[in-house]
Amino acid sequence: MMQLFQNVSNECSKITTERYSTSFSSAIHLLHKDLKTPIYQIYGFVRFADEIVDTFHEYDKAVLLAEFKKETYLAIERGISLNPILNSFQFVVNKYNIDHHLIEAFFKSMELDLSEVKYDDAGYREYIYGSAEVVGLMCLYVFCNGDEKRFLELKPYACALGAAFQKVNFLRDVKADAEHLNRVYFPGADFSNFSQDMKNEIEADILKDFQLAFEGILKLPESARFGVYVAYKYYLSLFQKIKRVQPKAILEDRIRIPNYAKLFIVFKAGLRSQLNML
């Protein structure tokens, strides 16, 4: 019966991923079957923590996050939790020996989101590491499956991919972050006077992350490569769409990639894969 409980927990993580992110869930579907569940387990955990700090405004978010953090470590220590998301997450952490430092860094960034913060360069890098890069590294533990040499080789590329995704999210969500959550992530950015030069500078930094990340995708195990490449292409397409618009457009509307365009991305990625161009 324990396996039934674990299966139910895993299903909760999968449902959470699919309901909150169609892009990530569709990319996960393209991973090898042995990788899908562990990545759902990671994403479900990350999504719940993020939901606490971004959405639960009617509640004491600091208390909720502190309780969630305490329950996370207790679940990992015990090897079980009655919270199905945490039970699912503890399983992947313990199975793949995911470094607890990554979890601590993640919670630190989530805690920063509880208050209004304007970041300097060092704080910005630290926040991105904890909120995004460590998630990529958790996934890399799964992809490498105990191959420490490969993990260390791919680590900087995984960090670059996580950073690229997060920075694109920041640029896409500038309006909501500033108006509703009182957050300004980009150091020195003045969105009351957002210029093309400022936008160009941010985009140049993001492009470097994408370029480095692509080098790493080509070195991933074959079981993970195609799914990660599709996620990369989703975000690269969103980034390219953002690049094409004027600064004021970012402050007016949330830019998206329509579903038909996502299907075309998968088609093109599949074609490249079949032609051994990945």
Question: Would you mind telling me the total number of residues written for the chain in this entry?
Answer: 278
For residue 74, the domain's CATH number is 1.10.600.10
Contact (Cβ atoms closer than 8 angstroms) between residue 34 and residue 223: yes
Instruction: Locate 20 and state its tokens.
Output: 């909150």
pLDDT at position 115: 84
Residues 6+ positions from 65 with CB-CB distance below 8 Å = 49, 52, 53, 107, 110, 111, 114
Number of structural domains the chain divides into = 1
Sign of CA dihedral 206, 209, 211, 214: negative
Which amino acid would we find at residue 48?
Answer: F
pLDDT at position 182: 67
| Percent helix, strand and coil across the chain, each to the nearest 5 | 80, 0, 20
Instruction: Tell me the C-alpha distance between 106 and 113, whole Å.
Output: 11
- Among candidate residues 29, 46, 24, the one with its CA nearest the CA of residue 93: 46
Which domain, by its residues, includes 102?
2-274
Instruction: Tell me the C-alpha distance between 191 and 249, whole Å.
Output: 12
CA 204 distance to own-chain centroid? 20
pLDDT at position 129: 97
pLDDT tens-digit profile, the chain (278 residues): 789 999 999 999 999 999 998 888 888 988 999 999 999 999 999 999 999 999 999 999 999 999 999 999 999 999 999 999 999 999 999 999 999 999 999 999 999 999 867 788 899 999 999 999 999 999 999 999 999 999 999 999 999 999 999 999 988 887 766 666 667 788 877 777 888 888 899 999 999 999 999 999 999 999 999 999 999 999 999 999 999 988 887 877 777 777 656 666 665 655 565 546 56
- Among candidate residues 101, 103, 71, the one with its CA nearest the CA of residue 86: 71
Residue spans of alpha helices (H) in 21-57:
22-28, 33-55
Instruction: Locate 149 and state its tokens.
Output: 């040499």
- Among candidate residues 126, 114, 251, the one with its CA nearest the CA of residue 181: 114
pLDDT at position 253: 76
pLDDT at position 272: 62
pLDDT at position 275: 47
